[in-house]
Structures are given as C-alpha cells and as structure tokens.
Structure 1
Amino acid sequence: MSVAWQLWLQLFRRTPLLVVLANLLRLAAAYFAVRWLRGEEELAIVAAMLFGAATWIWHTGQGYQLRGLCVPESFLLPNFRRRLLEYGAIDVAMWVLLPLLITVIGGAPHLSLIACALLILAGMGLMMGSNPRTGAYIWPFLIVLGWMPSFLTAFFKEALRSPLTPWLLLAGVALLLRFSIAPLLRIEDRETAASPLESTSLGRMQTRSTPGEPRRMGRFGKRINALYEQLAERTLQRALAAYAGSPSFRRRMILVRRLLLPNDNPEAIVLRIVLVAVIVCFYFVAIMHRQHFNPVVIGAYAIMLSVSRFPQLNVGMLRMRPNMADLYLTLAPETRAEYQQTISDALLILVPISLLTALVYTVLGAVLMHAPDPWHMLFVAAIVSLATSLAALALHLIGPEGSTGRAIVNLAVMFGTMAVYWGGYWLVGTAGYLIGGGLLALVSLGFGAGVWMAAQREYVSRAPRFDAPIG
C-alpha cells in the first residue's frame, strides 16, 4: 500500500492540476449519483458523463506517469512489475468496481455493458497518456462512423441486445492495454537522441518529460526519421565539401545552418510538406460529406501551422547550450558579439521557410476547398506569415525560458496572428490590393521587422551561455 501511495503522490507532483480536476469531477459525479439513488432518475446521465470524463482524465495522467516510470533502470528495482500490478488492481477497484457497485445498488440496466464501458474509458486514457501516437488508430474509426450516423444509431441499438457485445468490448479493452502498457514493459536500447531543433514533427507527441525516458516511435515513424537523418547527413557532407573546396562567408553560414537546423535542408522541407499534405488531404476527404466551413479560415490555419515551429526554437536552444560550446570553439570568433550575430543570422533562414510552408499549405487548402477567391487569401497569407514569422522568431529567440512564459508568448503570437490575418483579409477586401495591401504590409511588416531588429540587438548584446539547463 505504501508503494501505491508513493505512486499516487508522484502523479500529483507531476500533474497536480490533472489530479485535482479528475477528483473534482468524481466528487461531482458522486453527488449526482447520490441524488439518483434517492429517486431523481434524470440525474443518472449527468453522473455518468461526469464520471466518464473523470476516469478518462485520471487514466490519461496515469499513462503519462507510466512513460516516466517504465525506463530500463526501473526494472532493476525489486518486484517492480508486481508493484505495478498491485497499483493497477487498486486503480481498478476505485475506478471500476466501486462505481459498478453503485449502479448495482441503484438497479441500473445493462450492468455488463457499463462495466465494459468503464474499462474502455480507462484503457483509452492509458493509451492516450502512455503513447499518444496510438490515438491515430482511433480517429479513423470515429471518422468512418461519422459518415453513417443512421447506421451508427441502429448498430448501437442492436449491440445493446446482443449477448456478444460485452465479450467484444472486453476484447477491445485487451487491445487498448496491449497498445498502451505492453510497449512500456519491454526493455529496449535507447535510440540516438534527435537534435533539439529537428523539424520532422515525428517525436513531438512523445516529448521527453523525464530524464532518461526513451523516445518511442512506431515503425513508420522510425523509417521516416531514418530518411530525415539520411537527408541531413547528405546535405551536411555537401556543405563540408563545398566549404573545404572554396571557403567563403556564405558557405560558412550554410555550414552553420546545416549544423543547427539539420532537417531544414531543401529535400527535408519537401518531404515534410508532402507528409503534411497527405494528412491534410485525408482529413479533407474524411469531412467532405459534412457541411463545408468558410474556406478563408484555411489561410489562418496555414500560418499558425507554419509558425508552430518557433516555440521549439526556444526549447531547443536551451537544451543545446552545452553543445554550443563546441561550435563556439570551432568558429573561433574574435568577439562574443560576432558569435551571437552568426547564430542569429543562421536562424533567420527559418523565416523564409515558414513563409514557404504557409503559402504551400494555403494553396493546398484553397484547392481542396475550392475557395472562391484564392488569390485574395494567398496575398494576405503571404504578408501576414512573413510578419508573424519575424515576430515569432524574435520573441522566441530572446523570450522567457520557463514553460509558463513560453506558453504565454506562444498564445500571444497565435492570437495576434489570427487577429492580423482576419483584419488584413477584411482590409484588402474593402480597400483593394493596392491601398489595403499596402496598409497591411506597412503595419504588419513594419512591426515584424522592428521586433526582429530589436530582438537581434538584444541577442547580440548578450553573453553566450553554455551551461546546461536546470531540470
């Protein structure tokens, strides 16, 4: 019992808000369940919905905690697997058996289905928390069901009457546990750590939260990641050969960029755009049966997707500090300001890359949604994405290092992007491309360039730091 208590405390220390929210929802569900037991039949659904949300949130946190617990070193602890099993048994008693007992006392029908539903909610939470990429297995199923709402209704009515339904649901629970817990219990060699400034987006859902936590990826992710690594290695070797053959300032800067931004070479950019385009096309095909939303919003989504890279810059530069000392000694700058200027100039390449991806995504969305005025949307997206990329790069280059400060800056950038895009779209539509577009470019690009120049001066004036981040 002491081990279970310590595991519960560890979950509370890692995600206190999640623990408090889950238990508040459970208390609210208990309150409505008591009123249901006293004869208020209409409150049964309220209690069930609240408890369902509580168990899903709670077990998402449990899966998140398991990612940090199930590292190779933990399996050296005595009876580690048995202690996890005991903790799981206590969890089942609290979140499945106890509410099931209340439903038995209240005389609720379909007890076997209720028990299976509780297990499925807990299993889905564990799967989402322990390995978020497995959520991709669920969404296609839900999308397909969304195509046939009448069939779905008839299917559920028949499933309630079928004696095989509980067994099928138990098989689903077993699959959920297989996808969520089984990979965590395997002892595997750790893969080579990726660059903190990688831009493949393959490991963002499995971001390490604890030192030593392995980076878990599927077979498809591993193959794509290996392809990114091959492209990065090839472009780096080309940059080294070009600089060795004819040293120049331009080739020196390209070499620095290849070191800092390994996956921002032309081939990797094309691969990233193609992968995103495939996902976007699948999404649009999946929702085409539904009512179309305003195609103008595609431009805003494209810009926000392109600038979502910049928060990674803040975190990545923080994690790369110890390694940047090698780059400093290799470059051998005459002054510290020269080194800082080199780094800021190298990172500036992210702005045209962000602009390119925003325009490509906007064109793709306009084609898929048959936008009535694609040139209007593309014109505004080009101006706003360039200004937003400059501002985002500036803010995240010198921005706060704490997670709370980064989140605030990121929210400010996102909401500012949406406001400028919609305002610019209205302005161009009202005043025309020449006057409206000129005012939009003057204000937004002036702001973005001004923020970038101020941030660059601040960054250059700072002393380089090579200390490892705390925590």
Structure 2
Amino acid sequence: MRAIAQLWLLPCRQMPLLGILAHLLWMAALACLVWMTPHPADAALGAGLLAMGSWFWHLGLATTLRGACQPETFLLPAFRRRLAAFGLLDALAWVGLPAMLALARGVPHVPLGAALLLLAGAMGFAMGVERWVSLLFWPLLVLAGWMPGLAGVIVQDALNSPLTLPLLLLVAALLLRVALRPMLQVADRPPDASPLEGIALGRNVGTGTAPRRSALGQRIEGWFDAIAQQAMDRALARYREQPSASRRRTLVRRLLLPHDNAAAIGLRIAIMAVFATLYVVVALHRQHFNATVVGAYAVLIALARFPQIGRGMQRMRPNLADLYLTLAPTTRTEYQQTLADALLVLVPIGTLTAVAYTALGIVLTHATQPGLMLLVTLVVATGGGLVALAVHLVGPQHAVGRQLVNAAVLMGTMAVYWGGVWLVDTLGYGFGGGLLALVTLGFGLGAWFAAQREYQRRAPCFETPLA
C-alpha cells in the first residue's frame, strides 16, 4: 500500500493546487449525492462537479506518471502490478463509489452517468499523455457552442438510445489504450532536444523525462530538425569561407536557437495560420466579433516564447562550457555579450510573428481598422519583446519567480496594447502612434540596455542546475 500511496501523492506534490481543487470537487460532488434530493437537476450538478474534478485530476496524474514511467522504473519489484492496483483504486474512488451512492439514493440514469465519469477520467488521462487527443474533442466542443440546439437534441436522443452506454465504454477503453500503450512501453530514451528550440510539441518536458510524441508530432519535428541542420550547415560553410564577427554571431544563433531561421519561422507561421483559420472560421465567425482582440492575442503568442529563455539557459549551463571553450573569448564580458547579441534576434522574430498573425486575423475577421491594429501590434510587440527578453535574461532563477515576472510582463503588455489602441484611435496615427512608440520603445530599450549591462557584469555559470 505504501507504493500505491506514493503514486497517489505524485500529482499532489508536483501540482498541489490541482490536487486540492480536484479533491474539493470530489467531496462537493459526494455531498450533493448524500444530502441533496434525488432530483435529476441535483444529480446533474453532482455529476458535473465530479466529471470536472476527475478530468483535472487525471490530467495531472497522467502528466506526473508520464515522467515516472521511465525504462529504469520498470526494474522496481512488481511496479506494473502496483500501478494496476492504483488504477483500480482510482477508478473505484472516482466512478465506483459515486455510482453506488447514486444507486442508494435512487438517482436516475446511474449506469450512463458512471460511463460518462469513466469517459471524463479517461479523456483527462489520455490528454495528459498524448496532447493530440485534445484535438479529437475540440471540434465537438466548438460544435456544441456553435449549435446548442442541435447538441441538446443529440443529448436527449442519446439518453434514450441503448447504444449510448456501450459506445461510451468503448471510447473510454480506446482512450485508455492510447494513453497506456506508450506509457508502459520500455524503449531507449530519445536524444535530448535543445532547451531553446522554437517548437512546442512536448519535447521540452523537463530534465529526466522521456517525451511522448505522436506520429504527427514526430513528422513536424522532423521537418524543423531538417531545416535547422541545413541552416547550421550553411552558416558553418559561410563562416569557413570568410570568418567575420557577424558570421560568427550567426553561427552562435544557429547553435542556441536552432528553429529560428527564416525557413523554420515561415513553417511555424504557416502551421499556426492553418489552426487559426480553422478556429476563426468555425468558432469565431460572428457578426459582432471585436477584431481588435486578434492583435492582443497575437502579441501574447509572440511573448510566449521569452519565458523559455530563463529556464532554457539554466538547463544549458553544462553545454555552454563547450561553447565557451570553442569561442575562446579574451574576457568573460565578451562571452556574455556574444550570448546576449545572439538572443536579441528573438525580438524582431517575435514582432514579425505578431504582425503576421495580426494580418491573418485582419483578413479572416474583415477588420474595419487594419492600420490601427498593425501599428499598435508592431509597436507593442517590439517593446514588449525587449522587456520580456530583458527580465527573463537576468530575472529570477527560481520557477515561481519566473512565473510571477512573466505574469507581470504579460499584464503590463496587454495594458499598453489596449491603451495604445485608445491612443491611436483618439489622437490619430501620427501623433498617437508617435507617442505610443516613444513611450513603449523608450521603456523597452531602456530595460534591454540595463539588462544587457547586468548580464555582462555577471560571471558565466556552467554548473548543473539543481532539480
């Protein structure tokens, strides 16, 4: 039982807020079943709370178990048997016990409700292991929000159909198979990815954790890796032909930021454009949609890259020792300046990304003020990128501190964006845009130069970060 208790404590220790929220929802749902009248509305409230808690809990549970199920972990005595016992107890707590209470209270549709609870838990668990599973249910949620009347008719017909229960159980079983098969498979660990790579397909899941990648994710990763290798080969060939400071800086950028060359940026924007187009056409095709929100969302997407700088550079410390010996700088200030100059390219890349997404949103939403959106996005994305790079380059080393700093940067950037929209709309493109650029870019450049001086003052660190 001690091993089973440790498995249960894994998500509670790594994600305490999620564990507390999930179990509070579990207790609230059981309270609804025990003390409320066996009315369909009360039962639906309890089932909804329980399904939400089960989805949260099993999403976090799968995330932590994905890191625990390593090839060496299966060498532990009876690990698979204890993992199966933990799964049975978990199903009893989240499905069996509520179903028995509902039967005792005379709640209607108990088998169907138990099947839905099992599906909610399996769905959360599968999404925690294989992120692409969420793409299977996203169209259903969009369709339900787009045509609620049709969704209500389907639900009513499903309640009276004898095929609903076996269909729900079959889907839950398939989801569990999709999640458990890669988790329980013992295979060699794939090579580690760069902590500063520019794609988010689940490869940077943390040190010592084997990433789980779908076939589509592996194919896209292969495209990006091939482009990165070609860009590195070209930069190395140019540097060998004619060594110079600029080509040396380009070579360092290709090494630190493998997926931030022109071809990879274009591919990343194209992939994002496909998903954005589907989302806007299906979910946001509304008559009174505020198109200005698109620019704000584009700026947020561009700034989402910068938190990777702090934790990525921290994880790369042992590898940066090889870079230091290869560059052989005369002073440590020169080495720090080389790294800062290499990372500065992320600011124009972020600005280009934000402007491209804004332009796509203007076309899709038929925005009435395209010039205002492009101008404000251009200025705010540039200033916000400078500030974000500055604070994540020299900011807190602890994870909590980085999260607080990132939240402050995002909230401040959004305030500046909406203030800039009002300013340009009120004072015009010339005076309002100039004032916005003066304040935003002035603050961003000041923050970057201050951070650059602080980063050059610091001594290079090559020690392995503490877990």
Give TM-score, length-normalised by structure 2: 0.96
The equivalent of 2:35 in structure 1 is 35
Opposite residue 357 of structure 1, the aligned amino acid is: T
After superposing the two structures, state which structure 1 stretch, 88-97 or 24-33, moved more. 24-33
Q: CA deviation at 1:54?
A: 2.0
The equivalent of 2:383 in structure 1 is 387
User: 8 Å contact 1:35–1:43 — kept in the other structure?
Assistant: no
Opposite residue 238 of structure 1, the aligned amino acid is: R
Alignment of 1:82-93 (within 5 A): 82-93=81-92
Opposite residue 33 of structure 1, the aligned amino acid is: L
Inter-partner Cα distance in structure 2 for 1:70 and 1:291 = 49
Q: CA deviation at 1:362?
A: 0.8
Q: Percent identity?
A: 51
Alignment of 1:418-437 (within 5 A): 418-437=414-433
The equivalent of 1:125 in structure 2 is 124
User: 8 Å contact 2:28–2:49 — kept in the other structure?
Assistant: yes
Deviations, residues 372-398 of structure 1 (Å, cap 9, x unaligned):
010111111111111111111101110
Alignment of 1:196-235 (within 5 A): 196-203=195-202, 207-209=204-206, 211-235=207-231
Inter-partner Cα distance in structure 1 for 2:47 and 2:116 = 11
Alignment of 1:32-431 (within 5 A): 32-37=32-37, 43-203=42-202, 207-209=204-206, 211-431=207-427
Deviations, residues 81-124 of structure 1 (Å, cap 9, x unaligned):
22111111111111111111111111111121011011111111
Inter-partner Cα distance in structure 2 for 1:152 and 1:30 = 28
After superposing the two structures, state which structure 1 stretch, 453-462 or 194-203, moved more. 194-203
Q: CA deviation at 1:288?
A: 4.6
Opposite residue 60 of structure 1, the aligned amino acid is: L
User: 8 Å contact 2:307–2:392 — kept in the other structure?
Assistant: yes
Deviations, residues 401-420 of structure 1 (Å, cap 9, x unaligned):
11111111111111111111
Inter-partner Cα distance in structure 2 for 1:404 and 1:393 = 17
C-alpha distance 195-447 of structure 1, shift in aligned 2 (>3 A): same
User: 8 Å contact 1:65–1:130 — kept in the other structure?
Assistant: no
Inter-partner Cα distance in structure 1 for 2:9 and 2:47 = 27
Q: Secondary structure at the match of 1:113?
A: helix
Opposite residue 6 of structure 1, the aligned amino acid is: Q
Contiguous gaps of at least 5 residues in structure 2: none
User: 8 Å contact 2:69–2:183 — kept in the other structure?
Assistant: yes
User: 8 Å contact 2:196–2:309 — kept in the other structure?
Assistant: yes
Q: CA deviation at 1:212?
A: 2.8
Q: CA deviation at 1:304?
A: 1.1
Opposite residue 17 of structure 2, the aligned amino acid is: L
Inter-partner Cα distance in structure 2 for 1:142 and 1:12 = 29
C-alpha distance 356-182 of structure 1, shift in aligned 2 (>3 A): same
User: 8 Å contact 2:285–2:365 — kept in the other structure?
Assistant: no
User: 8 Å contact 1:298–1:365 — kept in the other structure?
Assistant: yes
Q: CA RMSD in A?
A: 1.6
Counterpart among 449, 459, 468 of residue 455 in structure 2:
459
Contiguous gaps of at least 5 residues in structure 1: none
Inter-partner Cα distance in structure 1 for 2:248 and 2:204 = 32
User: 8 Å contact 1:33–1:44 — kept in the other structure?
Assistant: yes
C-alpha distance 165-42 of structure 1, shift in aligned 2 (>3 A): closer
Q: CA deviation at 1:466?
A: 0.5
Q: CA deviation at 1:223?
A: 1.3
Inter-partner Cα distance in structure 1 for 2:249 and 2:349 = 16
Deviations, residues 342-371 of structure 1 (Å, cap 9, x unaligned):
111111111111111111111111111000
After superposing the two structures, state which structure 1 stretch, 263-272 or 54-63, moved more. 54-63
Inter-partner Cα distance in structure 1 for 2:266 and 2:46 = 50
User: 8 Å contact 1:23–1:54 — kept in the other structure?
Assistant: yes
C-alpha distance 292-200 of structure 1, shift in aligned 2 (>3 A): farther
After superposing the two structures, state which structure 1 stretch, 182-191 or 420-429, moved more. 182-191
Inter-partner Cα distance in structure 2 for 1:9 and 1:271 = 41
Opposite residue 75 of structure 1, the aligned amino acid is: F
Q: Secondary structure at the match of 1:328?
A: helix
C-alpha distance 263-207 of structure 1, shift in aligned 2 (>3 A): closer
Inter-partner Cα distance in structure 2 for 1:115 and 1:226 = 42
Q: Secondary structure at the match of 2:36?
A: helix
Opposite residue 50 of structure 1, the aligned amino acid is: L
